[in-house]
């Protein structure tokens, strides 16, 4: 009985330590993309505080462009719908071979909706982004959700023109060879 009591006390202390540590804690999630190149992300922080959440993902093709949007949760309080979380920044980074992180130039805007993207295309490799923010209503938790899209660049018209010229030259060379055999 004494042993069971001590294990319950230890469990309670560990749980309490986890709750106290959760303020300012960092969550890490690996994103999975659908066939259209979209992945969803988000977090629910049950207690008030500042948070940094990290989302990891991989790029399989060269030159993919990432673009994301996010929204914050709303809470009904005293007859008003109030934002319950504030996102203050989103930063993309590349995960290097030694697991270190190199920050990438990132555009972040929260005027008229939260939008973010790295300035340059992402080549094959491992990447991630951090969402920095805090709960917005004193003494309450908060949440946010978002979407990240990876898209391959669209070829320019000159690329299509070069492709058509190349196919035309192959067709001409093939026709020329077939005429030589007949004559």
Residue 2 forms part of a structural domain = no
Please tell me which residue, 152 or 65, carries the higher pLDDT value: 65
Please tell me which residue, 180 or 96, carries the higher pLDDT value: 96
Residue 17 forms part of a structural domain = no
Query: What percent of the residues of the chain are helix, what percent strand, and what percent coil, each to the nearest 5?
Result: 25, 45, 30
Question: Which residue range forms the structural domain that includes residue 90?
Answer: 23-177
Q: Write the CA distances from 140 to 15, 23, 69, integer angstroms.
A: 19, 12, 24
Per-residue pLDDT at 8 exceeds 90? no
Which tokens sit at 110?
């929260």
The mean predicted confidence, pLDDT, of the chain is 81
For residues 138 and 145, what is the distance between their CA atoms, to the nearest angstrom?
A: 20
Residue 140 forms part of a structural domain = yes
Residue 133 forms part of a structural domain = yes
Mean pLDDT of the region 4-12: 37
Do the beta carbons of residue 54 and residue 26 sit within 8 Å?
yes
Angle, CA 58 vertex, CA 52 and CA 63 arms, to 5°: 115
Instruction: State how many domains the chain has.
Output: 1
Q: Torsion angle of alpha carbons 116, 117, 119, 124, nearest 10°?
A: 160
Number of CB atoms found within 10 A of residue 134's CB: 17
Residue 14 forms part of a structural domain = no
- What tens digit of pLDDT does each residue of 37-81 get? 999 999 999 999 999 999 999 998 877 999 999 999 999 988 999
Please state whether the predicted TM-score (pTM) of the whole model is above 0.85: no
Residue 39 forms part of a structural domain = yes
Do the beta carbons of residue 82 and residue 68 sit within 8 Å?
no
Task: Provide the CATH number for the domain around residue 79.
Answer: 2.60.120.1050
Residue 51 forms part of a structural domain = yes
Per-residue pLDDT at 164 exceeds 80? no
- What tens digit of pLDDT does each residue of 104-125 get? 999 999 988 899 999 999 999 9
Residue 5 has a pLDDT of: 35
Residue 27 has a pLDDT of: 65
> E-assigned strands of the chain?
26-30, 38-45, 50-59, 65-72, 74-77, 80-83, 85-95, 101-103, 106-109, 114-118, 125-135, 142-151
Residue 62 has a pLDDT of: 78
Residue 79 has phi, psi (to 5 degrees) of: 80, 10
Mean pLDDT of the region 16-35: 63
Do the beta carbons of residue 42 and residue 145 sit within 8 Å?
yes
Residue 128 forms part of a structural domain = yes
């Amino acid at each position: 009985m004494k042993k069971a009591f001590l294990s319950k006390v230890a469990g309670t202390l560990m749980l309490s330590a986890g709750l106290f540590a959760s303020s300012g804690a960092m969550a890490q999630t690996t994103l999975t993309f659908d066939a259209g190149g979209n992945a969803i992300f988000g977090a629910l922080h049950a207690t008030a505080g500042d948070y940094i959440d990290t989302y990891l993902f991989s790029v399989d093709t060269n030159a993919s462009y990432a673009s994301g949007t996010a929204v914050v949760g709303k809470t009904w309080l005293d007859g008003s719908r109030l934002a319950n979380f504030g996102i203050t920044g989103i930063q993309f980074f590349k995960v290097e071979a030694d697991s270190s992180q190199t920050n990438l130039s990132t555009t972040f805007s929260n005027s008229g909706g939260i939008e973010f993207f790295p300035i340059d295309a992402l080549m094959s490799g491992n990447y991630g982004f951090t969402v920095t923010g805090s709960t917005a209503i004193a003494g309450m938790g908060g949440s946010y959700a978002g979407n990240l899209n990876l898209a391959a660049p669209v070829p320019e018209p000159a690329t299509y023109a070069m492709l058509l010229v190349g196919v035309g030259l192959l067709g001409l060379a093939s026709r020329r060879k077939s005429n030589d055999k007949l004559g």
